[in-house]
Structures are given as C-alpha cells and as structure tokens.
A and B are shown apart, each in its own frame.
Chain A
Amino acid sequence: MVGAGIAVVTLRNIIHSAVAMMICFGSLAGMYALLGAPIVAAAQVLIYLGAISVLILFAIMLTQAGDANLPAPFHRQVPLAVVVALAIIGLIGWAVIQTDWGVAPQAVGAAVEAIALAIFTTYALPFEIISLLILVAIIGAIFLARRPEEDERAN
C-alpha cells in the first residue's frame, strides 16, 4: 500500500497516478477490515473507490489534452519537499514508538449495530451538520460547473 502511495506521487502520467491511488484506497479498505471495522471498510470501498476515484478520473480525462509531451511533473522545490515529508514521517514515527500506549493486545472490532446507534444518538448533531455541509457542497459544485454562456442565456 505504501508502494502504491509512492507511485501516486511519483508517476509521470497522471492517469497512472489515479489508478495507483485506487490500489492504495483498496488496500486501505482491507486494512480497515483487518482492524475489525467492516462498516468503515464498506464505506471506504463505496465512497473512495466508487465515487471519488471515478470523479477524479473523469476530471483528469476532461482536462488532459492528450498523452503527447507530458510536462515535467515536479516543482523545483522537490528536495525541500522530500526533507519536510521525511521530517513529518520521522517526527510522527518517533512519537509513536516512544509513547507507551497501554494498548489492548488484541484488536477489538467495532460492531455495526453499535456504530449505527452511536451515529444516531451521541453524534446526531454532527451527522445533521454534515448533511447540511454536503448540500452546500452540491450547490457550490453546480454553481462552479455552470458555463458562463448558460448564465447569460438564463438572464
């Protein structure tokens, strides 16, 4: 999965990057299943593999002119970016290893019923706020995707 992630950011052809991203998301769904959270794995497959990947592939194919003369994929600040990314990984990894988590030795699954109960009782307000946010996002996307000439025709 990490290899697929590296492929996402290093491949030259952006469509190959998107396919590597789908591989990465799929293996993440497998990890969620391993962690005993089948509902999160199912949501990962539905939302990321099903919706977001297709959306991104559509956007790429709408905007890519063709495979001829692909531009250089990177900025000039690649060395700096490598240093910062390695610093992030190192810091988080150091913190993870140094901390004594006092963990349960065995992964405890998250039952579907318990999650559903939590969403609609304890977290009902965030749930409603997210539905409002998605409505706003849909309206915003439609507004942004309108072509100017349609605007004039509407006027």
Chain B
Amino acid sequence: MGLEGYLLVSAMLFGIGAFGFMARRNAILMLISIELMFNAVNLSLVAFNAYLPPDANAGAVFALMIMAVAAAEVTVGLALVIAIIRTRQTAEVDQYSDLKE
C-alpha cells in the first residue's frame, strides 16, 4: 500500500467524522467525530512524512503536537458538554433551543 492508499483511508476517515458530526444528535458523539477527523489528518501527516522525505520528521512532529492539542480540546469540550448536560438534563443537541423564537 503506497502513499495513495494511506491518503485514501485518511480521506474516508475524515468523511466519516464529518458525517458523524453533522448527523448525530448526541453531543458526546459529536466530540468523538471531531476526534476521528483529527486522527484522519494525523494519518495523512505521518504518511506524507514517510513518503515525501525532503524535510524528514516534520510530519511526525506535527502529528505529535496535534495529539497534544486534541487532548486539550477534548478535555475542555467534555467539561463543557457535561456542564450543559447537568443544566439541561439531556445530551441531544437539537433540544438546546433556548435562543430559538
């Protein structure tokens, strides 16, 4: 499996994540979908790093940093979601409609 194979898998994973983010109603599952998209980008970065060598290791370093940022993001995101769920007693995002007329 060459570079194209890895990139196609990455594209599929990103598309699945985007679908999950748009289609699911559960707030936690939307966060999981965001994680899937992060991982797709990571996979493509590492694949580029392995197959396009001019600046070796830049892709792997970027992937590690994206992991750290993703960990921070999911921490704050889950804290927000749990705070919202505690006040609204539901995890369904289409019931968060206070601002709607």
Contact = CB atoms under 8 A, between A and B. Distances in A.
Decide whether A and B assemble into one complex. Answer: yes
Interface of A: 1-2, 5-6, 8-9, 14, 17-18, 21, 24-25, 28, 31-32, 35-37, 39-40, 43-44, 47-48, 51-52, 55-56, 59-60, 62-64, 71-75, 77-78, 80-82, 84-86, 88-89, 92-93, 96-97, 101, 103-105, 107-111, 114-115, 118-119, 122-123, 126-127, 130, 133-134, 136-138, 140-141, 144-145
Contacts, number: 227
B97 interface: no
Contacts of B42: 28, 40, 44
19 contacts: A8-B20, A18-B32, A24-B13, A24-B36, A35-B46, A35-B49, A64-B91, A72-B25, A75-B94, A81-B23, A84-B18, A97-B4, A104-B52, A105-B2, A108-B51, A115-B60, A115-B64, A118-B58, A141-B76
B44 to A, nearest CB: 9
Interface in B1-38: 2-4, 6-9, 11-20, 22-26, 28-29, 31-33, 35-36
